[in-house]
Every structure is written in structure tokens, then in C-alpha cells.
Amino acid sequence: MRAPSASDIAAGEVLLAVENVSLSFGGVKAIRDVSFDIRKGEIRAIIGPNGAGKTSMLNVINGFYTPQHGRITFKGKTRTKMRPYDAARGGIARTFQNVALFRGMTALDNIMAGRTLKMHRGLFWQMIRFGPALREEVEHRRRVEDIIDFLHIEHIRKTPVGRLPYGLQKRVELGRALAMEPDLLLLDEPMAGMNLEEKEDMSRFILDVNQHFGTTIALIEHDMGVVMDLSDRVIVLDYGVKIADGTPDEVKANKAVIDAYLGVAH
Ligand SMILES: Nc1ncnc2c1ncn2[C@@H]1O[C@H](COP(=O)(O)OP(=O)(O)OP(=O)(O)O)[C@@H](O)[C@H]1O
């Protein structure tokens, strides 16, 4: 059984609230007046057919897109506009639908890159690796090694990520996001392109991140088995509109969802 339970989550504190958000690209209405919340400690899935607006919603949450209408409240602070850098500094980390790593760099260096926002000493001190900067680097390396242990990727730490199989690249990308020590982790199709074994591994890591670090997670995923197993609550989008929001069992039984999505082979 997962902890915390669904009833704990229902009573829990709201980490992020999306209110009446609408986003258009020219004539295309990607998101239409969508509201929902993400509570501290939960795993929240966003599902829906292709083009439903799922990735656009993650891009609104992490400040990549500015919605024409609506507002976002994160950790009690309300905004209509935020830059991705501020979102990252504020504690929102993100992985992408297609792996977005530095392919020529090792797994270790890619994960280390995720620590950049946590580094306080300036470039000058980093370069001469003196005093406080050296102490800081040692601490960052320790954190990164902990993440490498946690994700069981010790054997590939020195391998350029471009040479790794896809499933391991996705794991390194997760490691880089974890290196930011986020309060909210956004995962865009973390299982896409994976075989069954890789999916099982990734599911376990997502649950472990949630349980051991207490990280709140929002994920987009097309594999319904994975979504229903992992998530505390699920939002369903269709043509940019929210058509359902509830526990996996509630969503599975929802007629509009069956008609729009679940009933259709994907
Ligand atoms: N940068 C953009 N410029 C123009 N239109 C866009 C842009 N990004 C998304 N769209 C459009 O907005 C709509 C929602 O797209 P989005 O990628 O958010 O859907 P999605 O649910 O994530 O789809 P998928 O499951 O295929 O990834 C689509 O009609 C898409 O073509």
C-alpha cells in the first residue's frame, strides 16, 4: 500500500493550484478554462488523447508558457506569469517527453548539472576551487552520488549518456531533476518508448522518490496501467477541457472519460 493514503491527500495542503487557465496558440485553444490542484505529497496524473493539452499544461506550470487567462498559486504565491528559471529556483523540476540531456557528457556530469541552481559560490571561486567553493563542490558531489546510488546507476556514471540505452537515459534525466531537490517534480511521459521491464523499474523509482523524499509529482502518461497503479488522483483533459478529476477508480468509471479516451485504443 502506498503512503500517504488517498484520504490523507484529500485533507492535505495544496502545493499548487491552477485556476481558470486558458492558453491559445493563434487560433488553437490548447487549454480552456482549466482548474485543479496538486496536494503536497501526492502523485497526480494528467491524461487524455493526443493534443489534449497535457504538455501545454506542464509548460504553464513551469513558466514556459504564459496563459492568456487564469492564475497559478505555488507554495502560497499567486502569479499569472513566471519565467522557467524562477520556477526552477522556486522548486519545480521537469523532465521532457523526449530525453533532454547533454549527450556528450557523462551521466555523472549531467546529474551534476542539475545542481547548478543550488550552487551559491560564483564562477570565479568555482574555477579556483578554493575554500568555500571547494567545500560546496564536495557537498554537491556527495548529494549527486546519493542520487546515483538511489537510481542504481553506479555502473554508468562515467558513460556519455548518448551511448546509453533509452531506459537508462530516462533514469539519468530523472536523476538530474532530483538533483534540484524539487518540491514539485513534473514528468512528461516518463515511460514513453520503454519496454515492460524498464517501465516497472521507472514506476518503482517514481514511487520511491515520492515516498522516500516526499516529493510531490505530476506526471503525464499514456500507459493506463501505470497511471492507475501510481497515481493518487487523475485529471483528464480532452480538447483542452478538463472532463474529469478524481481517484483512479472514479476516473475509470467516468462515462465521459471512457467515451473520449479509455474506450479508444491508444
Ligand atoms: N508551441 C505551439 N504552437 C502552436 N500550437 C501548439 C504548440 N504547442 C502545442 N500546440 C497545440 O496545442 C494543442 C495541445 O497540444 P499539447 O502538446 O499540449 O497536447 P498533449 O496532450 O500534450 O499531446 P500529446 O499526447 O500528443 O503529447 C495541440 O493542438 C497542439 O497542436
Predicted confidence (pLDDT) per residue in 195-230, tens digit: 899 999 999 999 999 998 899 999 999 888 899 999
The atom number, within ligand 1, closest to the CA of 26 reads: 4
ipTM for the predicted complex comes to: 0.96
Q: Which protein residue's CA is at the shortest distance from atom 2 of ligand 1?
A: 25
Beta strands in 90-205 (DSSP E): 92-95, 184-188
Q: Which protein residue's CA is at the shortest distance from atom 29 of ligand 1?
A: 51
28-46 pLDDT, tens digit each: 999 999 999 999 999 999 9
CA–centroid distance, residue 64 to ligand 1 (Å): 13
Whole-number pLDDT of residue 117: 65
Whether the per-residue pLDDT at 24 is higher than 90: the answer is yes
Cβ–Cβ < 8 Å for 147, 111: yes
The pTM score is: 0.87
CA–centroid distance, residue 174 to ligand 1 (Å): 23
Whole-number pLDDT of residue 119: 60
The mean pLDDT of the chain is 86
CA–centroid distance, residue 152 to ligand 1 (Å): 34
User: In terms of CATH architecture, what is 98-181?
Assistant: 3-Layer(aba) Sandwich (3.40)
CA–centroid distance, residue 237 to ligand 1 (Å): 12
Residue with cell 523526449: 98
CA–centroid distance, residue 14 to ligand 1 (Å): 27
* Those residues with Cβ within 8 angstroms of residue 71's Cβ, 6 or more apart along the chain or in another chain: 19, 20, 21, 78, 79, 80
- For the chain, which residues make up each domain, given as ranges? 1-91+182-265, 98-181
Same-fold call for 1-91+182-265 versus 98-181: yes
The atom number, within ligand 1, closest to the CA of 31 reads: 14
Tell which residue, 44, 51, 54, has the closest CA to residue 9: 44
Site residues for ligand 1, CB cut-off 6 Å: 25, 28, 30, 48, 50-56
Superfamily name with CATH number, domain 1-91+182-265 = P-loop containing nucleotide triphosphate hydrolases (3.40.50.300)
Whole-number pLDDT of residue 1: 33
Cβ atoms within 10 Å of 219's Cβ, excluding its own: 24
Rounded CA separation 258/256 (Å):
6
Rounded CA separation 139/145 (Å):
10
Whether the per-residue pLDDT at 21 is higher than 80: the answer is yes
pLDDT above 90 covers a percentage of the chain that reads: 61
More confident residue, 66 or 134: 66
Cβ–Cβ < 8 Å for 187, 206: yes
Q: Which protein residue's CA is at the shortest distance from atom 23 of ligand 1?
A: 51
Rounded CA separation 250/184 (Å):
24
More confident residue, 100 or 18: 18
